[in-house]
Structure 1
């Protein structure tokens, strides 16, 4: 369930989102947010529980960010190039249309996915372990996912407290200063 407060933040708790099983039986996905709607989204954020190795679905025209939140990690074969991704690694950026296979390293994982329709400006995803700050000067969507701990988000003078396993996102139409404090969170920027 998404709730929008008077602050402009949309807040979604993972526990409120039903799991959708994959057609190949390899796991489940929880769609946290997509914009503008489910039928024709420009961006989508989800958490996936991967139970067994197998191929990723292809998404033509989509830039994809992938990061491991829990578990030993995965080895992704993206168009013949191997990438080992663990819970301590930076998020991996790749073409959603590429043939991508996933091998679990040592058991199940929980992963975060950001998919963005390809445009002229790049999207961004970074891990926050401690403090992170950004000065924004363009129209965009920003998001924070608190995955390993609660997070404190400062947006100009406004403070948002996020519980563990919670996503907050909002549109930014002008300049703003953002600060995040968390032991485990993701910061994302999506151009308008």
Structure 2
């Protein structure tokens, strides 16, 4: 029998922002003796502004609701880049230590934030939509955030899961998963073997 874990939004941990202008709903966090290895969270953003400094962490930001925002990043060396998140499930990847500012394009938005320690951890973050393709294969630790009500088949139909909107699935490493209805964010976090010494 599979051992996946389904977490609903009511179970997410509420965390105040460093800048005091809102709160984050923490879905999952792993720490070790070096500090935060990875964190997955959700937040509502109601005004444009400067992001908190998360030096040492790589960030993947996914637009999950709202009409978009522009992110402008300035590195320590002064190099400036930007990301436009215009549609639901658009993704931006950037360094948490950069000076990042957000500009809301048409009202408040909600985002999903995946942060991993740059020194030794990497994340694969993808928007996924209903299809018959395998969402995750056995042998991998992975997660799924349901941006819509989602129907997922486990082990070729041995079990069916119906996930509410804004819920989060920790997949069983021993099982295969297929997304048959809905859309969301697939996340796989692993050690970066190129960086681990």
Give the TM-score band, short-chain normalised: 0.7 to 0.9
Change over 3 Å in CA distance of 1:16–1:23 after alignment to 2: same
Q: How far off its partner does 1:55 sit?
A: 1.1
Q: Mind listing any 5+ residue stretches in structure 2 that lack a counterpart?
A: 75-79, 192-197
Matched, 1:160 2:161: yes
Q: 1:61 aligns with which of 56, 59, 67?
A: 56
What TM-score, normalized by structure 2, do the two folds share? 0.79
Query: What is the CA distance between 1:164 and its match in structure 2?
Result: 1.5
Alignment of 1:108-147 (within 5 A): 108-119=108-119, 122-131=122-131, 132-134=133-135, 136=137, 140-147=140-147
Q: Which entry has the higher C-alpha Rg, 1 or 2?
A: 2
Classify 1:164/1:88 alpha carbon distance in 2 versus 1 (closer, same or farther; 3 Å). closer
Is contact 2:151–2:160 with CA below 8 Å preserved after alignment? no
Instruction: Return the TM-score normalized by structure 1.
Output: 0.81
Change (3 A) 1:22 1:71: same
Partner of 2:194: none
Corresponding residue number in structure 1 for 2:35 = 40
Q: Which is further off, 27-36 or 119-128? A: 119-128
Please, what is the CA RMSD of the aligned residues? 2.6
Instruction: Select between 84-93 and 142-151 the one with higher mean Cα deviation.
Output: 84-93
- Cα deviation for residue 86 of structure 1 reads 2.5
Shift of 1:33: 0.9
The 5 A counterparts of 1:1-192 are 7-36=2-31, 40-79=35-74, 80-119=80-119, 122-131=122-131, 132-134=133-135, 136=137, 140-155=140-155, 157-170=158-171, 172=173, 177-192=176-191
Task: State the SS of the aligned residue for 1:63.
Answer: strand
Structure 1, unaligned runs of 5 or more? 1-5
| Number of aligned residues | 183
Q: Distance in 2 between matches of 1:120 and 1:153?
A: 32
The 2-side partners of 1:114 and 1:58 are apart by 14
